[in-house]
Structure 1
Amino acid sequence: MSDPGAAPAPAIGTPPAARAARYAGLAGAVLLAVAAHLGGALPDAPLGVTPASIWRTPAGPWTLACWLVGTALLVGAWWSLRRGTPSTRWAYATAGLWALPLLVAPPLGSRDVYSYACQGWSYTHGADPYAVGVAAAGCPWVDAVAPIWRDTPAPYGPFFVLLAALAVTVGGGLTGTIVVLRSCAVAGLLLAAFCLPGLARAAGVPTRRAAWLALAGPLVGVHLLAGAHNDAVMLGLLLAGLLVVVRRPGRALPLLVAGLLLGLAVSVKASAVVVLPFAALAAVRGRHTVRALLRDGGWLAGGVLAALLAMSALSGLGLGWVGGLTRSGDSEQWTSPPTAVGFVVDYAGALVGRDPDAVPVLRAAALLLLTVLLAVLWWRAWRALHRRPGGLAGRPGPDHVRRPVTTIEADRPRVALRGAGLALAATVVLSPVFHPWYATWPLALLALTATRTTWFVVPAALAAFLTLPDGTNLARFAKAPGAIVLTALVIVLLLLRLTHRPGLPRPADRV
């Protein structure tokens, strides 16, 4: 089946620009793999270093040079084809080609994989990872874990704790455990890659563009693959559940299976929960009424609840993982907009001899705003799909003529997936903390629905430069200027929104 909306593929050969992008990205991936071998997030690498101290090490200049040039090449190649590649097969082949050097590289860009390993070790040795940190549990690999997370309970769901424990059991030592955890990340990405074409066709976007944006980005290769982040597992399960929903709406058994998949995604990372209300909209077949939503959404909710209860019972940890979520915000970085604004308020207070301690207040306000925004996004999606009696759309189209039922039925996956993508984007922006790999959450869904891509591709590209190969977060060394710049950007965006004249299309409307 051809890509909907895709331009005809060239009859002979690959365009020179696409060929140049493919090999520029491959060169970038190779350089990043070299940087990982020279100074990546190795178990015995020194912790608490700065860019200057890395530069003074024997391989430091080469490490930083390979990281900077490699990231620039990978970002540039991805950006150059953001509007579409020659074909879907070409996009998959190129993404796989770029992944090969990173697949055999040491952990890169983060030390979280060692936290996963220690949490799995703690569980297999009888400790409750939701009650004690990995240091208190006695993990033998604790020196490889970033200091900030050594005394913090696990913020992940029970399904991932079981996966980490399985990795420890199968892998034996630390190296084997890392290999198994990376294999889990690869499996998650392969599952996502399998689901993307079906979701793209359901949403009416070219599969070649969706696959490229979602799979070939530098954050995917560096953090989800080389860094072995559990976000890859979450995204694979999330997209699989959504694919079942859009393929088999209104059918009890498929919706139950979809709920199980979505529930497993939530039991990896709880942030996936914001997608569930929009999945319920996609589950309705026919008229979008309250009764239909309760009926079809009920099967979906039943599957989600069954997965969560089963994982909690199977792990023997109960609901203790819910309490662990409160510790995920222990880190304070200006890359989170609410935290950045809180920093600036504290700086302003210090100038007049006050200590507002605004960060916790702004974080709480942002979470409240997120709750309201999620409700508004869901209500707008519901209104877009809701139909009045008589089989016609409840809202008139641009020509003031009500659209036929078939149009609304075709719009169902697109509207629901777009709402889910915007919900994940809002979650990332308003969360207390932001790490570069968080940008992959909305990226995967917005690639399936957005008509304009620059507004979310640019932040994802910039986020690729935030971490050094050994996991050092550059945001730590630009706290004040970074907070001021991000706060100024927030103010500018708010002013643009408040001064928007009615009748002109807003950016969100164009998306």
Structure 2
Amino acid sequence: MPPTPGAARLARYAGLAGAVLLAVAGWLGGALPSIPLDVTPADRWRSDTGPLVLGAWLVGTALLVGAWWALLRGAPSTRWAYLTAGLWALPLLVTPPLGSRDVYSYACQGWAYAHGVDPYATGVAEAGCPWVESVASIWRDTPAPYGPFFVLLAALAVTLGGGLVGTVVALRLVSVAGLLLAALCLPGLARAAGVPTHRAAWLVLGCPLVGVHLVAGAHNDAVMLGLLLLGLLVLVRRPGRPKPLLVAGALLGLAVTVKATAVVVLPFAALAAVLGRYTVRALLRDAGWLAGGALGAVAVASLLSGLGLGWIRGLTRSGDSEQWTSPPTAVGFVVDYAGGLVGRDPAAVPVTRAVALLLLAVLVVALWWRAWSQLRGLNDVQQRVARLAAVRPRVTLLGAGLALAATVLLAPVFHPWYATWPLALLAVAATRTTWFVLPCAAAAFLTLPDGANLARFAKAPGALAMTALVVALAVWSLLRLRRARAARHG
């Protein structure tokens, strides 16, 4: 049931008011280069502008989240969703970086590469970046964890921007370009999967995480998502044809060379590449063209950058940050707390993280096999070609979205903007939305405008709460699986 005109109008302008308040918080206390990095929320509250900054931030976030949530079933129209999301983005385009200082890391990594330093071999402090004081202290001595294509984009931003402000503006424009590319792909993907376009566009573009972290925060996740969605759109529209498959593979490969987490989508993209009946031969034939395009893009980006495959080493340092917002890390904290009661040294976090990565691999394989079996089952019952074409995108896109959701949940670290990965795909493929929209709404409250993560200041209670949630979800899943098996055998 579409919202009434009055409700839609109220949501639009409540969200705009929220975006303006966030922009005000950004100018007064956002992630400016001059803002001290190592102060607590209490210190910020006691400053002259502290109450105004925190009040504007919290009220603005609540207004944005509430306005987005009010239209959970979809905006009045797709055009309305685009116009409203664009209206909300305007104040966030002209504010200092919000919710994170990562854009300064991007700038310094681009500066290092532009000045002949390998960003995968050294941290930005050792490289001599003149803007290193703006970078969060934890990332000053770590190599870049991003792929060569994004390093090239960051170096281009440094060259065009000149100083730090110009570079940040250029990086924000790169992020906005990635977001616009994703926005252009949403209606086509949603139509292919049989999902209302107005709902898909609203869930993604109206999400506060997108405005705060991808627009104002200039995170490179927007570039990854733009390439990812465009590659998938080419696949669902032109499966089984060598040239489109090569193009789609190249786009997906470039997404991987921005952030390596995009790799979990590739197995499901291989299913989307198949035209006609799903057989092993057809999968190998069509997925082969796709894989050729993806590998070619990775190879070209690595060779053009002159950095080779050194970027893979940088991936191992992305887990240097330890926060309870990552479920495996939270479980490790709780195990260490329990061990400390009996005198054991803390060493559980690396173990729980390794177990989680193993579980992720198993889950991705299981999700792929489930999608493959569903598509093969359609052949077995001789479904009509038209219906198969309608079902194929929904199955493959949903599988890819679930794989990204599992990646976010089981990764060693979690930051709020990571939730936009599965959001972009689940919004165009899932029939039920609350289960993945609710975590996005909660994640919007995890950061402060200057980039401080509130999880840092609630380590023990946060870890206990997250572990309790993990245990509850595990028990619920086992009970549901048991009931499903009983139903099949009953």
Question: Of 344, 356, 375, which residue of structure 2 is paired with 1:366?
Answer: 356
Q: Is structure 2 residue 162 aligned with structure 1 residue 162? A: no
Is this contact kept in 1: 2:278–2:379, CA < 8 A? no
Residue identity matched to 1:269 = K
The equivalent of 2:395 in structure 1 is 415
Paired with 1:413 and 1:501, the residues of 2 have a C-alpha distance of 26
The equivalent of 2:379 in structure 1 is 393
Shift of 1:502: 4.9
Write the deviation string for residues 456-493 of structure 1: whole angstroms up to 9, x where unpaired: 11100000000000000000000000000000011011
The equivalent of 2:475 in structure 1 is 495
Paired with 1:409 and 1:242, the residues of 2 have a C-alpha distance of 15
Paired with 1:73 and 1:504, the residues of 2 have a C-alpha distance of 40
Is this contact kept in 2: 1:184–1:233, CA < 8 A? yes
The equivalent of 2:219 in structure 1 is 229
1:448 match: secondary structure: coil
Paired with 2:316 and 2:392, the residues of 1 have a C-alpha distance of 35
Shift of 1:90: 0.4
The equivalent of 1:456 in structure 2 is 436
Q: Is structure 2 residue 432 aligned with structure 1 residue 446? A: no
Question: Of 179, 190, 200, which residue of structure 2 is paired with 1:189?
Answer: 179
Q: 1:221 to 1:504 in 2, by over 3 A?
A: same
Shift of 1:498: 1.7
Is this contact kept in 2: 1:424–1:441, CA < 8 A? yes
Write the deviation string for residues 59-104 of structure 1: whole angstroms up to 9, x where unpaired: 1110000000000000000011011111000000000000000001
The equivalent of 2:459 in structure 1 is 479
The equivalent of 1:3 in structure 2 is none
Paired with 1:128 and 1:42, the residues of 2 have a C-alpha distance of 27
The equivalent of 1:220 in structure 2 is 210
Residue identity matched to 1:412 = R
Shift of 1:306: 0.6
Is this contact kept in 1: 2:112–2:128, CA < 8 A? yes
Shift of 1:58: 1.0
1:105 match: secondary structure: coil
Paired with 1:208 and 1:312, the residues of 2 have a C-alpha distance of 38
Runs of 4 or more, structure 1, over 4 Å off, are 501-506
The residue correspondences of 1:56-455 to structure 2 (distance < 5 A) are 56-387=46-377, 393-394=379-380, 403-455=383-435
Residue identity matched to 1:303 = G
Paired with 2:262 and 2:485, the residues of 1 have a C-alpha distance of 30
Paired with 1:317 and 1:352, the residues of 2 have a C-alpha distance of 48
Q: Is structure 2 residue 3 aligned with structure 1 residue 17? A: no
The equivalent of 1:39 in structure 2 is 29
Paired with 1:501 and 1:164, the residues of 2 have a C-alpha distance of 46
My pick for the range that moved more, 495-504 or 346-355, is 495-504
Q: 1:501 to 1:177 in 2, by over 3 A?
A: closer
Which of the two has greater helix per residue? 2
Question: Of 460, 466, 469, which residue of structure 1 is paired with 2:446?
Answer: 466
Paired with 1:143 and 1:85, the residues of 2 have a C-alpha distance of 43
Paired with 1:275 and 1:353, the residues of 2 have a C-alpha distance of 43
Paired with 1:141 and 1:298, the residues of 2 have a C-alpha distance of 44
Is this contact kept in 2: 1:98–1:221, CA < 8 A? yes
Residue identity matched to 2:450 = D
Shift of 1:505: 11
Q: Is structure 2 residue 18 aligned with structure 1 residue 28? A: yes
Paired with 1:501 and 1:56, the residues of 2 have a C-alpha distance of 51
TM-score (norm: length of structure 1): 0.93
Shift of 1:56: 1.3
Is this contact kept in 2: 1:443–1:456, CA < 8 A? yes
2:379 match: secondary structure: strand
My pick for the range that moved more, 497-506 or 280-289, is 497-506
Residue identity matched to 1:414 = R
The equivalent of 1:4 in structure 2 is none
* Unaligned stretches of 5+ residues in structure 1: 1-6, 397-401, 507-511
Residue identity matched to 2:414 = F
Q: 1:345 to 1:289 in 2, by over 3 A?
A: same
Residue identity matched to 1:465 = F
Is this contact kept in 1: 2:20–2:91, CA < 8 A? yes
Paired with 1:314 and 1:39, the residues of 2 have a C-alpha distance of 39
Paired with 1:132 and 1:223, the residues of 2 have a C-alpha distance of 26
Is this contact kept in 1: 2:277–2:379, CA < 8 A? no
Paired with 1:384 and 1:92, the residues of 2 have a C-alpha distance of 34
Shift of 1:497: 1.5
Residue identity matched to 1:173 = G
* Unaligned stretches of 5+ residues in structure 2: none
TM-score (norm: length of structure 2): 0.97
Paired with 1:151 and 1:371, the residues of 2 have a C-alpha distance of 30
Number of residues paired by the alignment? 486
Identical positions, percent: 77
